[in-house]
């Protein structure tokens, strides 16, 4: 049931995003667009409540409950960023909006990578907090091994993102050299 609900929430996220952007650009109803996009967090609330009910009902905590916590962490920390990322690209591609700008070189790129890493760290910390809450909620140490494994995976996510951002700081990408020759 939890896996199905995660899939429904993911599909719902993209359906709401598409509906919100369609209302904004094709129907020219920006307020309705905002209202639809503000429904996105309700998906996470439904998933959170369903997961808690499933655990309280005696379900054995397993990878599905961990995945639900990770999904909620991602949605909370990166959901708004994802919506903005898609919005800018749709506006540019189909409606003559300005091109998306992601810095490619130097300090600006390193700063961009650190901001993105901070979002991922926040997502992982939220997931770890939800997982810890589930561990306390279930209460039996022997049954929570899979949830603790998910916490370790979130530490790995944090480490990977810090390494990536750090690599852009220590080894900044340089713009290509332009030849000084004129033809």
Looking at the domain assignment, is residue 67 inside a domain?
A: yes
Looking at the domain assignment, is residue 182 inside a domain?
A: no
**Full residue range of the structural domain in which residue 80 is found:** 2-170
Q: Please give the Cα distance from 40 to 105 (Å, whole number).
A: 34
Q: Please give the Cα distance from 55 to 140 (Å, whole number).
A: 12
Looking at the domain assignment, is residue 120 inside a domain?
A: yes
Looking at the domain assignment, is residue 181 inside a domain?
A: no
**pLDDT given for residue 141 in this prediction:** 65
- Return the half-sphere exposure (C-beta side, CA atoms, 13 A cut-off) of residue 156: 7
Q: Please give the Cα distance from 54 to 6 (Å, whole number).
A: 13
Q: Please give the Cα distance from 64 to 147 (Å, whole number).
A: 9
- Helix %, strand %, coil % for the chain, to 5? 80, 0, 20
Can you list the residues of the chain whose pLDDT is less than 70? 141-142, 179-183
**pLDDT given for residue 178 in this prediction:** 80
Q: Please give the Cα distance from 183 to 117 (Å, whole number).
A: 44
Per the structure, the count of domains in the chain is 1
Looking at the domain assignment, is residue 177 inside a domain?
A: no
Looking at the domain assignment, is residue 178 inside a domain?
A: no
* Alpha helices (H) in the chain, listed in sequence order: 2-21, 30-37, 40-56, 63-95, 106-138, 145-170
Q: Please give the Cα distance from 144 to 138 (Å, whole number).
A: 8
Q: Please give the Cα distance from 125 to 104 (Å, whole number).
A: 28
Looking at the domain assignment, is residue 175 inside a domain?
A: no
Q: Nearest to residue 150, comparing CAs of 85, 84, 73, 81?
A: 73
Only one residue has tokens 């810890």, namely: 132
27, burial (CB in 10 Å: exposed 0-12, middle 13-18, buried 19+):
exposed
**pLDDT given for residue 182 in this prediction:** 56
Looking at the domain assignment, is residue 101 inside a domain?
A: yes
């Amino acid at each position: 049931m939890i896996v199905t609900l995660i899939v429904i929430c993911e599909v719902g996220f993209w359906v709401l995003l598409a509906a919100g952007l369609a209302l904004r650009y094709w129907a020219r109803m920006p307020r309705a667009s905002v209202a639809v996009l503000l429904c996105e967090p309700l998906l996470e609330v439904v998933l959170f409540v369903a997961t808690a009910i499933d655990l309280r009902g005696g379900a054995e905590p397993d990878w599905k409950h961990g995945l639900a916590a990770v999904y909620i962490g991602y949605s909370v920390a990166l959901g708004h960023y994802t919506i903005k990322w898609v919005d800018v690209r749709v506006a540019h591609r189909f409606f003559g909006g300005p091109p998306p700008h992601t810095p490619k070189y130097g300090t600006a790129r390193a700063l961009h990578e650190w901001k993105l890493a901070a979002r991922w760290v926040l997502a992982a910390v939220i997931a770890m907090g939800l997982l810890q809450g589930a561990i306390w909620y279930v209460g039996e140490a022997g049954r929570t091994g899979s949830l603790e494994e998910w916490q370790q995976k979130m530490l790995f996510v944090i480490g990977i993102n810090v390494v990536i951002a750090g690599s852009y700081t220590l080894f900044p990408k340089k713009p290509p050299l332009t030849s000084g020759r004129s033809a």
